[in-house]
Amino acid sequence: MISSFRSPVNTTPRMLSLPLPLYPIIFSLPDQPRDASLSVVASDPIGHTPPPWNLGTSPVRVLAPLLFVLLWSGAFIAVRAGVQDVSPITFLASRFTLAALILLPACLILHSSSNWQEVRRLWPHLTVSGILLNGAYLSAAHWAMVDISAASMALIGSLQPLLIAFLSGPVLGDRFRSLQWAGFLLGTTGVVVVAGINVVDLGHTRGVTWGVLSCFSFVAGTLYYARFCKSSSLVTTNGVQLTAAAVFCWIIVLGFEDITFSPTPPAIWSFIFLTLGVSLGGMGLYLYMLKNGTAGKVAANFYITPGLTAALGWLILDETLSQNALIGFGLAMIGLWLVHRGANLNHT
């Protein structure tokens, strides 16, 4: 595993506060249709995308990637701090149920009859994507971490953006430039540097198998949503998906899990944050970015979550911040910037 250190001088906070981490995230804005006059010209070999302030970008599009990576990284801190006191799948099922119940009134208030017709048409697709993106993905991840560490799980998860980018070609018709592929590889390298490689940990076949299944479930769910569900409204999409995930997890709980629950303060605060911040906020932002952007580019945001999680653990839980975490975080940010710096071959 990687070695850790704490700097004797207070330089790390200054490093983390530089605007550099925000630069690649700001360039991960969802792809937007533009006038032909703004198309990438042939003389630009790597297809530079004009800065977002030239595109009339709304504040939501600017802030969505930043808020997403903060919420998603915070989820790992919340799990580490509080979920040990609750059966994992019971925790997931309860979380998805509460989130779905919160969204139900919003669906009833905001949607017209035509919206409900769209729901009836798409609900089978929304159900499948919801189970893949929420229920199966997180259930398999929790089972994986019975045998392997969170760092090894992050290492397996680093394959998600690369797989999504690779499979989005035949599934969605997306194509990436050489510069962008270099960004995907550099982002994966950054995660490897942050997480390290524990050979003994990765020797647990059952844990690694569940980790790979978790990764594949999220990849499949992302591509399935991008292929079949982008026309549905975000509130409806997240509501149906969370309902499907809740039913899926409750079936697992009733059939396979011994329910334990200890209402400690960390468990309660973790439940609140993961329900409101991640299931509603984080997943809602992810679906928003997929709805308005390219699946591979959106998934590339995951490259910086391990490094940002390490930084949040240092700030919130007083954990040691390793030198490798900082180096890997920097590599992942550069990779993310490269992915979003070049325009897709099939997007102007």
What is the full DSSP assignment across 242-307? HHHHHHHHHHHHHHH----B---HHHHHHHHIIIIIIIIIIHHHHHHHHHHS-HHHHHGGGGGHHH
Tell me the pLDDT band of 320, cut-offs 50, 70 and 90. Answer: confident
Domain limits of the chain?
82-183+204-299
Residue 150 contacts residue 198 (beta carbons within 8 Å): no
pLDDT at position 13 over 80: no
pTM of the complete model beyond 0.75: yes
pLDDT tops 60 at residue 15: no
Task: Among 161-175, 180-194, 196-210, name the one with the lowest average pLDDT.
Answer: 196-210
Residue 185 has pLDDT above 90, yes or no: yes
Give the C-alpha separation, 317 to 17, whole Å: 18
Confidence at 173, pLDDT banded by 50, 70, 90: very high
Give the model's pLDDT for residue 197: 85
Helix or strand holding residue 205 (H, E): helix 205-228
pLDDT computed for residue 247 by the predictor? 98
Tens-place pLDDT, residues 195-235: 888 888 888 999 999 999 999 999 999 999 999 998 888 88
pLDDT-derived band at 112, boundaries 50, 70, 90: low
